[in-house]
Structures are given as C-alpha cells and as structure tokens.
Structure 1
Amino acid sequence: MALLSTHDLTAHYGDFQALFGVDIDLNDGETIAIIGANGAGKTTLMRSIAGVLINGRDTVSFNGDAIGNATADAIMAMGVAMVPEGRRLFPSLSVEENLLIGTYGRKNGGHWNLDTVYDLFPILKERRNNPGTALSGGQQQMVAIGRALMSNPRVLLCDEISLGLAPVVIRDIYKAVPKIKEAGASLIVVEQDIGQAMQVADRVYCMMEGRVTLSGTPATLSRDAIHDAYFGAAA
C-alpha cells in the first residue's frame, strides 16, 4: 500500500476545473517529481494534498486513512508538510522565529529541531537573528524548507523550490534531499526543470492541463515521450 495516494482527484476554483481525475502514488522512502508547464495543475495538486483545497474524503489517502476533506492544520499534524511556492516567510519574524512556526501542532519527538535544521543549512544558524526576508532568495528557500521540516513530517511537499534561483543555489538546496530522506521523510517535488526532476526522483509524473499525461522512472522515460507529455504531441 502506498504511503500517500490521490484517487480520481478533481479540483475547482469557482467554475474553473483545474484537476481532472488525477491518480498518483507515493511509497514510503520514495521521492516523486511532478513536472509540467505553467498551468498544468501541479500547484493545485499540492494544495489539494495539503488540505488548502478541500476535496472529497476518499480522493486523498495517507497512511491508510482517507484525508481528502481534512483541513490543512489537521493534515500537517498527521505528518504532511508543504514548502509553498514563493516561500511565504513572515517578514516581521527572524529566521529562527520563522523556523519555530513549523513546530506548531507537531507531534512530540522526531529528528528535526533547530540544531538539526542548522546542521542541514549552516548559513541559517549564522543568520538566525536576521529578519527572514532580509536573506537571499536561496537562503529564504532554506528557511521555508527548514520550517516545514520542523514539524517532523513523514511526507514533505516541495512546490517549485528552485523557482527564480541561480543554478549553483539550486544545486546546494537539492543536496539536502538525500539527508531529508535519510531522516525518514518521503518527498513530492514539483519542478519545471525536467533535468533537475530526473536527477532527484525515483519516479516522475508529468501533468498537462490538469491531467497526468505520463508516468514512469527516469530510466524508462524517453526525452521525446516527456516532451510530448509536457507540451502535447505535435499534430
């Protein structure tokens, strides 16, 4: 049984339908990547899993329980945390205060605390008293990841964590992924960068216009198949 799954998941913004019957599975200890162009439905999928968008009870399952209609705070308490697109730090709080926000509602115990987050991202310890938004974009992304880890999640949802960052910074951030997995988390990573997604993922799902158009392992998916699933096959 998968650790987390979606089942015929649909999602709407008012009258606009953003997802059409999406099925994905995440196994324990696995990293899956969700790729696709802007507007493909990737962020809507993440928001649906995290409880930001409420869906039918049976459309999302986690650890054997149906959670599709659970609230975001309840889902976080169960062990699913999201690193949102755009980082969403609190500008009035320091780096350390932003990290501590992640402990709200978490279960006792677990690998992640201030010391282990600072070991993962040493620059944050140096800047811990700085305002969270007074850092570089890459450092702010580290804070956002650390804040999510502070809840000690079993599943970490990472929505476009490389967006707008320089390649060298992206590499530094993705170096943290193996250490996060070693500490017991499984990951769903939303990426527009196909190359980066292929490097980090055990399996890949491609989305277009709210539907899954291709899935498989990086070793089995051809460049042409990914191109057609990402952009649509040429007529």
Structure 2
Amino acid sequence: MTALLRISGLTAHYGDFQALFGVDLTLNEGETVAIIGANGAGKTTLMRAITGVAKVTAGSVSLADENLTRLPAPQILTRGIAMVPEGRKLFPSLTVEENLLIGAHARSGNGYWTLDRVQAMFPILRERRQSPGTALSGGQQQMVAIGRALMSNPRVLLCDELSLGLAPVVIKEIYAAFPQIKASGTSIIVVEQDIGQALRVADHVHCMMEGRITLSGRPADLSRDAIHDAYFGVTHA
C-alpha cells in the first residue's frame, strides 16, 4: 500500500506542558486507522497537531510526501485533511444545509462529495435541511459534522470521538457510512474510547497513553490482554 499520511517523531506542547512525545504513525491509501486510549492519552492533541491547531514543536506531518508541519490550519484543510471534531461544533445560527455548505468553501476543484451525496448517505439531513443545526439530536448533529467535513472532499478524514454520548443504534448507523466514505477515495483516522468499535472498523489500531503510542498492530493480531495492558499502562515483571 502507498503511504498517504506520514507522522514522524511528532511532539506537541500546550505552553510548557508537553502533550505528545515523538509519535510515529502511517495511514495508507484506502485504510482506516483507529486510535484508542483513555481520557488524557493525547488522542485529541494528535488530531489537533495533524490539522495545524495544536503547536508542533518537533517532528513532521506529511500528506502524499508534502510536508504540512508548519502550515496554518486553513491551508492544511485545503490540502486535503478535514476533521470531525469532538463535540461536533456546529454553527447554531445556521441551518443543517448551511452547516454542510460551509465545508464546501475549503474545496479545491471538484470531487465525489456534493450536498446531494451527503444527504443521500444521511437522508435525515435532507428532511431536516432547514432546521437549525443544533436543534437536531446528538446523532443527527454528528452526521452533519461528518457531512460538513466531507464537503471539502478530503483525502484524509479525522474523526474525533464519533460515538461519544450516542446510543448504540445511532453509532451503528454512523459507522455504516464508512465503506462509502472509503470507496469515495477518502482514508480515515478515527479516535475512539470504544475499543470494540475501533477494532471492528480499523485496518490498524494504535493505543495511546500519556502522549505516546504504547501498542500498534492489526486488530486480528492484538490480544485482549495486550490491548488492556497498553490502554491502562499495565507492566509485567
């Protein structure tokens, strides 16, 4: 497989606090990579560093061999990395359709994802297109956030805590969209606290703890005990 996104030795700080310690990660074309870990493990910081929101103090982020490390967040978006943020962060003053169309402003040229295709994937967004974005249920808002990111036709879609606070039936519906997203030519990194969900959708899994990757591998090759130990920082004498 061809490496699409390559993260090498990534270190990030919030002021004097170091949040990431030399993280290495590769996302290949057509893959889904899952990042798991407890609260405070550094998962969201890693997503923010990739997108240029968190300050990178060492290491690099490259997309298709182009170094994006020092670019501002808007330029990283136009290069082809879009994020579905934790908490959705929709614009409350805009309708569902307007929230979706905001994502198209970062589009460079034509691509697979259009308003019609996003609404076909999540039909409720067509039904509720004139409703305020924040008037929807949590799951429907998550669909808007995913659709908004896809409207930029990204090569890489970063999804931060998609299932947080949602009912299992809604989570299943959201993750059922992944095959179509990947078929459109978009590769995915998903941050999840739900280990079972992460293992079901991912080609590769990375576990983080205290700003470091503590375990990596294909889901079929990782034992429950190994995942548990990496997740909770268990060491054996």
Q: Judge same fold: TM > 0.5, yes or no.
A: yes
How many Å apart are 1:115 and its aligned residue? 0.3
Matched position secondary structure for 2:140: helix
| C-alpha distance 99-57 of structure 1, shift in aligned 2 (>3 A) | farther
Q: Which runs of 5+ in 2 are unaligned?
A: none
User: How far apart, CA to CA, are the structure 1 residues paired with 2:60 and 2:116?
Assistant: 37
User: How far apart, CA to CA, are the structure 1 residues paired with 2:105 and 2:72?
Assistant: 15
Matched position secondary structure for 2:117: helix
Indicate conservation of the 8 Å contact 1:58/1:67, yes or no: no
Partner of 1:211: 212
After superposition, residues 184-203 of structure 1 pair within 5 angstroms as 184-203=185-204
After superposition, residues 48-127 of structure 1 pair within 5 angstroms as 48-55=49-56, 59-127=60-128
Matched position secondary structure for 2:164: coil
Root-mean-square deviation (CA, aligned residues, Å) is: 1.1
Q: TM-score, normalised by structure 2?
A: 0.97
Q: Are positions 1:38 and 2:46 aligned together?
A: no
User: How far apart, CA to CA, are the structure 2 residues paired with 1:125 and 1:179?
Assistant: 18
Matched position secondary structure for 1:168: helix
Matched positions, count:
235
Partner of 1:133: 134
Partner of 1:29: 30
Q: TM-score, normalised by structure 1?
A: 0.98
User: How far apart, CA to CA, are the structure 1 residues paired with 2:59 and 2:183?
Assistant: 30
Indicate conservation of the 8 Å contact 1:100/1:150, yes or no: yes
Identity of aligned residues (%): 70
| C-alpha distance 152-160 of structure 1, shift in aligned 2 (>3 A) | same
How many Å apart are 1:55 and its aligned residue? 2.0
User: How far apart, CA to CA, are the structure 1 residues paired with 2:92 and 2:172?
Assistant: 26
User: How far apart, CA to CA, are the structure 2 residues paired with 1:124 and 1:93?
Assistant: 13
How many Å apart are 1:105 and its aligned residue? 2.4
Q: Which runs of 5+ in 1 are unaligned?
A: none
Indicate conservation of the 8 Å contact 1:57/1:68, yes or no: no
